[in-house]
């Protein structure tokens, strides 16, 4: 049989038995069928890698890496666990490898500095690897298992920001035990640790989270709730009409506003409105327009700022809101990153 070498020249090789060829073809067919079937877990694996890294871009790369590793090692999959569990093991270890030696991804309020003076100059720090928002999947349905796994509480910004204070192995153990509800022995097998070590890591992670994560007596309203919809509409209207008095009334007394890559964070309605009045490029009604969306299981709005030279409203910030007890308790206004963030959310760059 003549078979072309790497250089494209056909050379004679011994005939390969038809049985071996059929086995080889069957192997590739089964691997491809496995990969096609495994695609249904892509969204929940993305959420898992996002929880681990705090970065949507890193999570997307890690999911690709997970499927590549799974395809390469499929022949060694013995079926002792489900395909889904096997993929999570691969994704977790890929995340642990990726996080080795990396710094955590903070929000400004997590840098350890006190709340800033809204009248002072604001300092931009693009060199910091900031926490990124996660778009919600528009086609998710409550009966979809991925929604149960990637529950809103486990992708909300406050929780993701708190996870950044844990070591990578602590994050993995906490997520596998408390989000995915794995047994300690299963977690140990996944990350190569004893059951005792897993329990110790979980205990330390819980204690650290209790110190870091602010207590939230009231549940954050989901984005489709009437409460969240109403507050988002009022928030958008106050900015678009440049009604600072109305804006003041929307925030809780201890509300926080932050806007990475600027390192300051601001607390209280008066400081938030002062910040908006002094440092926002808008000069009056009509300069800002918003498009409602959702992110991290929370109501959100994409802000477009009018370019005074062209009159076109251009991508500026993505505001992710926490709504509690009928008021806005927290806003993270993520910079548009020259439109890259808006493209990630499927939003237009101009209006």
Give tens-digit pLDDT for 258-270.
999 999 999 999 9
Residue 274: is it exposed, middle or buried by C-beta count within 10 angstroms (0-12/13-18/19+)?
A: middle
Q: What's residue 214's pLDDT?
A: 54
Task: State the pLDDT at residue 14.
Answer: 41
My answer on whether omega of the bond before 57 falls inside 30° of 0, hence cis, is no
Structure tokens at 234: 């009022």
pLDDT value at residue 3: 42
pLDDT in tens, 172-201: 999 999 999 999 999 999 999 999 999 999
Q: What is the pLDDT of residue 78?
A: 65
What are 86's two structure tokens? 């096997």
Which pLDDT score is estimated for 140?
Answer: 56
Distance (Å, whole) CA 295 – CA 179: 19
For the chain, which ranges sit under pLDDT 50?
Answer: 1-18, 20-25, 142-143, 146-150, 217
- List pLDDT tens digits, range 13-71: 444 444 544 443 455 566 777 777 788 899 999 999 999 999 999 999 999 999 999 98
Strands (E), 167-258: 251-258
Nearest one of 96, 95, 74 to 86, comparing CA atoms: 74
Q: Please give the pLDDT value at position 67.
A: 93
The CA-atom distances, in angstroms, between 25 and each of 6, 32, 88 are 21, 11, 28
One-character DSSP codes across 275-288: HHHHH-S--STTSE
HSE-up of residue 222 (Cα within 13 Å, Cβ side): 6
Domains (range + CATH), the chain: 16-102 (1.10.1740.10), 157-217 (1.10.10.10), 226-344 (3.10.450.50)
Q: What is the pTM of this model?
A: 0.86
């Amino acid at each position: 049989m003549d078979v072309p070498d790497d250089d494209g020249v056909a050379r004679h090789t011994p005939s390969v038995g038809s049985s071996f060829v059929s086995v080889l073809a069957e192997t590739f067919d089964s691997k491809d069928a496995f990969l096609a079937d495994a695609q249904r877990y892509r969204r929940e694996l993305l959420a898992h890698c996002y929880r681990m890294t705090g970065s949507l871009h890193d999570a997307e790369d890690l999911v690709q890496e997970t499927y590549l590793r799974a395809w390469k090692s499929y022949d060694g999959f013995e079926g002792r666990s489900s395909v889904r569990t096997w993929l999570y093991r691969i994704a977790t270890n890929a995340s642990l490898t990726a996080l080795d030696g990396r710094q955590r991804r903070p929000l400004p309020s997590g840098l350890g500095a006190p709340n800033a003076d809204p009248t002072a100059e604001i300092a931009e720090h693009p060199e910091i690897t900031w926490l990124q928002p996660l778009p919600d999947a528009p086609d998710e349905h409550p009966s979809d298992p991925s929604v149960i796994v990637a529950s809103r509480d486990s992708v909300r910004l406050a929780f993701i920001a708190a996870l950044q204070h844990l070591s990578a192995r602590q994050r993995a153990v906490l997520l596998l035990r408390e989000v995915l509800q794995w047994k300690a022995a299963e977690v140990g097998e996944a990350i190569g640790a004893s059951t005792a070590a897993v329990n110790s890591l979980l205990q330390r992670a819980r204690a650290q989270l209790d110190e870091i994560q602010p207590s939230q007596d009231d549940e954050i309203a989901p984005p489709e709730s009437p409460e969240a919809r109403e507050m988002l509409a009022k928030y958008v209207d106050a900015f678009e009409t440049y009604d600072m008095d109305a804006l003041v009334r929307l925030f809780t007394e201890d509300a926080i506003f932050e806007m990475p890559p600027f390192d300051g964070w601001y607390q209280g309605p008066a400081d938030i409105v002062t910040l908006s009045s002094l440092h926002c490029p808008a000069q009056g009604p009509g300069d800002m327009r918003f498009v409602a969306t959702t992110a991290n299981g929370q109501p959100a709005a994409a802000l477009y700022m009018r370019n005074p030279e062209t009159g076109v409203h251009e991508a500026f910030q993505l505001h992710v809101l926490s709504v509690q007890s009928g008021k806005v308790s927290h806003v993270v206004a993520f910079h548009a990153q020259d439109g890259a963030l808006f493209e990630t959310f499927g939003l237009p760059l101009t209006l």
